[in-house]
Structure 1
Amino acid sequence: MAPVISALNPTQGPAAGGNQVTISGSSFIGATAVRFGTNSAAFGVVSNSQITAFPPPGSGAVTVRVTSPSGTSNGVTYTYVPAPVLTSLAPGQGPTSGGNPVILTGTGFTGASTVQFGAASAVFTVNSSTQITATAPAGSGSVAVTVTTPGGTSNSLTYTYVTAAAPVVIDLGSHFGPTAGGNSVTILGAGLTGATAVHFGAQAAGFTVVGDNQITATAPAGTGTVVVTVTTPGGTSSTGIGNPYYTYVAQPALTSLAPDTGPATGGTGVTINGTALTYTDKVFFGATLATFAAISDTIVLATAPPGAGSVPVTVHSPGGTSNPLTYTYQ
């Protein structure tokens, strides 16, 4: 009876060949040949239902068959996978304590099984066939970073562990901003030179390092109160020192004025009703600033300045400028 192949394990391997493949099936006793495509493979018959084979070099998908004096088996597909290639690491250095993200760029990352920083394995996520995000393990000195897939192990790139102190965020030029982001925020601190990332909470921000004590960042969109952190090769800043908190403020919205008319001489107390009024920093009657007090998130008490005709009343806060409501001078 001709041999029958039921399964291969694994079903893929490196283009260089030489890896071990277990062929499961039946009627293997007396097998005289195992072929991967048209190429013969070294093999050993373990039992009537199992063969251990060592694929020859190859490429793409090929058909595996077993031949014995009784005939040739059915074919089962085996795929040769190119070895992964590493082209860059970002950043190429980090703290000896590890824990920082490192972006690996290259090709052939699909199916990656391990990422090594020297002898230490790293936790990682395959983002695509060309990118992996790894978390650097603890280490020291310079180590070789490699990626292993069914296609083999990549070339190595050097990652250097440094002992520089972690950066410190002491204060922010502004602790409030709109939920839409896009505003400039000055970050003040120490050890900021060489910064590789700035985050507002979990959101990455664009930034420019002005000096060792200052970074100018562009706030990303967000909500609530978040911690602003800076990452350098020495590590990531913590909340133990200074005031790194940043609060996203919703745009104020006005619903009514009471009263909405008053004398041209001004001096009328006007209750401004709306939402997101807590952080009000300016009230305008037309182009004229009014004195005011923010009583709650829904009420601002303003004193109408002198004016004439009908003017738009608006409220400004770190969240932006509100819609206008009309106030009429009589």
Structure 2
Amino acid sequence: MSGPAGGGNLVLIVGSGLANASSVTFGGTPASILFQDPIGLLIIVTAPAHAAGTVPVVVTNAGGTSAPAMYTYLAPVGPVVLSLLPTSGPTTGGTPFTIVGSNLAGASVTFNGVAATGVVVDPTGTIVTGVTPAGTAGNVPVVVTTPAGSATVAGGFTYVAPPPPVAVSLVPVTGPTTGGTPFVLVGSNLAGASVTFNGVAATGVVVDPSGTIVTGVTPAGTAGNVPVVVTTPAGSATVAGGFTYVAAPPVAVSLLPTSGSSAGGTLFTITGSNLAGASVTFNGVAATGVVVDPSGTIVTGVTPAGTVGNVPVVVTTPGGSTTVAGGFNYV
């Protein structure tokens, strides 16, 4: 008779005079009696665990102790690995794998020393499935470990770095300095991308499932051309041509008052939009004390001296110039 050193297997003992056995021992270790034949010919027990080797099995009942029968405990057999599929996957991990072999019961699997997740061994102990952990690019050892030992998978597993992003086009290529311009960036390998305009993150960035289209909204920026950079876990790419911020042209809605002394010194207020950084001229002569409110919608100042009559009033910002309808009347 023989069985695994871990015990737990059923053993049939055949003899005579075995009725009403009080104990069955394997090398002195009691076994669990599951069944006894009333006429004393059969006993079924669960073998206890024991170190590998041959030990006596002894049955004891009211009539005494039986002559020993010999039972051999077998050392556990280490795992054998025949194949691993697939043999490569991304450095981000998450690749489902299958290992085929034998003696794989109770197996765990590591990739370069890092435990795989979701490891399941089929009831026959011949197939192990799981999911690779993240790893660095290159070939790494894969080790299967069971209570009986370890085995290294021939050929290991090769982690492949994802390709870096490629940016092909950006539409539109211009927009206001205030930001808020929806954009579409087309390329490849864009999964997980973020986008910056002159180092400032775009908002509302979404990548399509194919990893070829990124949409988002530009942040605010200063007038001029700025670099646009797409970054993924695999690296960064700069969009050719960048993005040009254009200051929005000023809009003047009203001027109050619309007339004043030709000696100048009249306090005025211009209302409109996009007035940040504005200067104001009356017939080409600069107003003094010009102040723009933080919202860029109100400009105040003082008129210069001028000649009697109606003169043009021009508001100028980095975004351009606009003439106030109706001008200003010097009296």
**Greater RCO (Cα-Cα under 8 Å, separation 6 or more):** 1
* Higher alpha-carbon Rg: 2
| TM-score where L is the length of structure 2 | 0.31
The TM-score, its normalising length taken from structure 1, stands at: 0.31
